Chain A
Amino acid sequence: MNSAEQHDLAKQLTLLIGQCQLGDRQAFQQLYQLTSAQLNGIAYRITQNLDCANEVLQEAFIQIWQNCHQYRADKGEPFTWLASIVRYRAYDRLRHLERRQNHNTLTFDEFHDSPTVSQTAAFNLAELDKKQLDRCLSQLSDHHSQSIIMAYIYGCSRDEISDYFKAPVNTIKSWIRRGLGSLKLCLTQ
């Protein structure tokens, strides 16, 4: 998808959310049809369970409809808003169930761009922003960047990251804090 198409899609999503704010159920259904597969993928990546991902998606779309008036186009892209709601719901679900017995089977190397991973994402971040994020992440130490990615993409708690690295939880807290600090510095330069 080129940047013009990307822009059109973002505009379409913004418009649909605006119509939802007016109570338009058809717009809501269209929003679901356009975004649910991508959002379900995000939920699945965190929960690692298809049924759970579908339940998270269901809860998230109920929240999206009920809170659609909270979306502010000047604060971020519509897909970012939708994805954030899904991610927070998925994190809640994980913490509530306190389950993830086989996190050691996950691979946490996706930060190092792999050309073999197919890009099915319909909503790509602007190339410039993505490059900047990659560049800034690559400047962090491996432990710092991997801890951030494990938490964000896979919903790993500090305890789980601590188990994975066989390092104390306080060390993980420190890695995340320092990693985020350096990341922010780099992203705002």
Chain B
Amino acid sequence: MPNSINRYSHPAIVEHLASNYVLGTLTPHVSKRVDTLRKQVDVLEENIHFWQNRLIGLNQQTQAIEPKPQTWQNSSEQLGFEAPKLAIWKRLYQQFSQAKLAYAFAFSMLFIGMLYYPQLTTQPTSLSYVAVLTDEQEQAHVVASTYGENLQLILNIVNQPELDTDQTMELWAISKSDQQARSLSVIPQQGQLHQILLTQAQWRLIKDSHSLVITIEDEGGSAIGEPSEDVLSKGLCVRLQDWQQPS
């Protein structure tokens, strides 16, 4: 059993996650994490069933409300049971996968960010590295980019996740050569666009990185220099070919 799963087999943690999951009081991120974990950790799944089965009685006095006829129609169309009657533009729109849309949206946000925050984007050279970090649902979370070799990392937060006050997002570079994660920066909680000054060592990390990952850590960042298993988003780090300055 991997360590990350072992952690979740601790009775107190399991009880907290299961009961608050059923109660709906976990943050969206932790709730999604439990969605995945419950399929892997039997005792967590058992606890979730316990609370579901016991608390269902609270729904007993809920009034039934007939749904709109369109609700069934929409469901069956989405499942492909019935051919949808859609306008051409809508069909074209649906041909894009969620991931493609996420990337397109993320790049649009990057472009808009450049327009509205010129002080952060007046770079002397062109884009050198870019990574679009997406969450488990393939939704764009952060666009990370560098320009030339000027030791600055621009982070554009496309979707601000909901974190507890004692939590922090931390950005990690995953090395191409040894696959180890090394911290690049803690991401400030407030604001959409961030400019992070890199050291030479951090710049080398980016040049050597296969991908970037953002995790949720305790306030202030990981105390042990390693990422937690609460991965918010990740994305390949793409090197753009034409930025290299002639030597």
Q: Mark A residues whose CB is within 8 Å of B.
A: 25, 29, 32, 36-38, 40-42, 44-46, 50, 53-54, 57-58, 61-62, 65-66, 75-77, 79-81, 83-84, 87-88, 91-92, 95-96, 98, 110-111, 114, 117-122, 124-125, 129-130, 133-134, 148-149, 151-153, 155, 157-158, 176-177, 180, 183-184, 187
What's the minimum C-beta distance from A66 to chain B, rounded to whole angstroms?
8
Are B53 and A61 touching (Cβ within 8 A)?
no
5 of the cross-chain contacts (CB-CB < 8 Å) are A84-B22, A119-B61, A125-B60, A129-B54, A153-B58
Instruction: Please state if A91 and B55 are interface contacts (CB–CB under 8 Å).
Output: no
B residues engaging A (CB < 8 A)?
A: 15-16, 19-20, 22-25, 27-28, 31, 49-50, 52-68, 70-72, 74-76, 78-79, 81, 162
Selected from A58, A79, A114, A153, the residue in CB contact (under 8 A) with B71 is A58
A176 adjacent to B74 (CB under 8 Å)? no
When distances are taken between beta carbons in the complex, the residues of chain B under 8 Å from A50 are: 65
List chain A residues, Cβ under 8 A from B63: 41, 118, 120
With A95-B162, A96-B28, A157-B25 in contact, is A54–B19 under 8 Å at CB?
Answer: no
State whether A25 and B62 are in contact (beta carbons under 8 Å apart), knowing that A77-B53, A129-B54, A148-B23 are contacts in the complex.
Answer: no
A95 touches which of B28, B54, B55 (Cβ 8 Å):
B28
Q: Chain A contacts of B60 at CB under 8 A? A: 119, 121, 124-125, 130
> Within the assembled complex, what's the spacing in Å between the Cα atoms of A44 and B67?
10
Q: How many angstroms between the C-alpha atoms of A151 and B22 in the bound complex?
A: 10
Given contacts A53-B65, A57-B67, 17 further A-B contacts (CB under 8 A): A38-B62, A42-B62, A46-B24, A54-B68, A58-B71, A61-B75, A65-B75, A91-B31, A95-B28, A120-B63, A125-B56, A125-B60, A130-B57, A133-B54, A149-B58, A157-B25, A176-B25
